[in-house]
Structures are given as C-alpha cells and as structure tokens.
Structure 1
Amino acid sequence: MHEMALVHQVVDTVLEQVRGTDVAEVTAVHLTIGVGRDVIEDYMSGLFSFVARGTAAEHAQLVIRRVPYTVRCNQCGEIFPINVRDSSTWVCPQCEAVKDYRLFSGMEFMIDSISVSRRPVTLSA
C-alpha cells in the first residue's frame, strides 16, 4: 500500500512548513493528484488522520483534487484530454495527428496549499 508512504511525506512536509510559526492548528491540506497516480482517496484520508494524530495536523481535512490525463500534440501543440482506454481519444482534435503527443498532465502529486488557524497574539501593556 504505497498510500502510506505518500501520506507520511505529506504530513512530514506540512509539519515542516508550520514548525516554528504561530500556527495553532492545520485545518486543511489541499492536494492535487493526477489520475495516473494509482491512489485510493478513501485510504489517503484515513491514513492522513492516522499519521497526523498527536500533531498540529491531527484534525485537518484532506482535500483532494484529481487531474485527468491530458496530452500536448507534437504536431500543433494542442493540449487535449485523453482516455487511455478509449483509442478514439488518441487523435488530436486540432490537426488530427494520431498518437503523436506527449503527456501534459495526469501524473501530479503535490500539496497545493495548507489552511491553518493561528495562535492569538497577546499584547502586553
């Protein structure tokens, strides 16, 4: 289950980013994950809660945005979505080149943003 390793990396990165700041709690972690990354979102959320327990991210919501496969045509530069299981999508809609493209998106795995609540600032008189 490679989700565990991925979640550990996410939690470690999030905690590293908030360490030494005035962050009281991480409230959400926003990820972008390409459909080519074979991850099960429900596992990711459950594992995130497990791995983050006892940390500033313990109650954070994991928000996942999935990115479809898109390719860039080598002939004309058009970027278009493909379905790897449907050969009718392997043709450039602009110039009609067949299977002459490079992968543009669909393999991402990144932290987009971290939402936090901050400790209240106390002013001394």
Structure 2
Amino acid sequence: MHEMALVHPIVDTVLEHAASVGAAEVSAVHLTIGDGRDVIEDYMQGLFTFLARGTVAENAKLVITHVPYTVRCNECGHVFPLNVRDSSTWTCPGCGAHRNYHLHSGMEFTLDQIVVARFADSAVA
C-alpha cells in the first residue's frame, strides 16, 4: 500500500498551510495524480481521513483529477494517449511508428489547492 507514503506528506502540507493562514477548518484538498501512480482513490481518502483525525482537516475531502498516460513519438513528435493494457494504442497515430516514444504525462502527483472552509476567530479582522 504505497498510498500511505503519498498521503502522509500531503496531510503535513495541508496542516502547515492551515496553521499559517489561521484556518479553523479545511473542507477540500485538490490533487492531480497521473495514472502511472497507480493509486486507489478510496485508500487515499481513507488514509487522509485517518492521518488528519483530530485536526482542522479531519473532514476534508480529496478531489482528484486524473491524468492519463500520454507519450510523444520520437519520430514525428505527435503526443497521443497510451493504454498500457491495450497494445493497439502503442502505435503512433501521426506516423505509424511502433513503440518508439517517450513518456509525456501520467506520472504527475501535485497538490493543487487547499480549500479553507472557515478561519479561526483570531484570524478574522
């Protein structure tokens, strides 16, 4: 379960940010995750909830945007989606080259946004 290694720093970052802005509650955390990370969303949410229990982020929902694998053809430069489970997608639709490409997207893992639902009274002017 590699999700734990991915979620732990996210929770730490969310809590650090919440403290720095005086947040009383975090409602959502937006992530971008490439298909190559092979994560299970339910595990991610469960681990996030577990690690954030008793904090301002304990009720936060993870909002995940998935990025598919795409590759760039080494012969013509065309970028196209690749399904690793379907060999019919392994040929460049631009020039017909077969298996002559490099990874363009699909390994992303970024924290894009932390949504603060409310601020602590002392933080409100």
TM-score by length of 1: 0.89
> 1:108 Cα shift?
1.2
Cα distance in structure 1, aligned partners of 2:31 and 2:101: 27
Q: Is the 8 A contact 1:71 1:102 kept in 2?
A: yes
Gaps of 5+ in 2: none
**Residue by residue, what CA displacement relative to the aligned partner does 1:37-90 show, whole Å, maximum 9, x if unpaired?**
122111111111110011111110111122111001112211100111222111
> 1:5 Cα shift?
1.8
What is aligned with 1:33? 33
Cα distance in structure 2, aligned partners of 1:69 and 1:32: 13
Structure 1 or 2: larger helix share?
Answer: 2
Gaps of 5+ in 1: none
What is aligned with 1:9? 9
Cα distance in structure 2, aligned partners of 1:24 and 1:93: 51
Equivalent position SS for 1:20: helix
Cα distance in structure 1, aligned partners of 2:98 and 2:2: 34
Equivalent position SS for 2:36: coil
Cα distance in structure 2, aligned partners of 1:25 and 1:111: 18
Cα distance in structure 2, aligned partners of 1:33 and 1:9: 15
Cα distance in structure 2, aligned partners of 1:20 and 1:85: 44
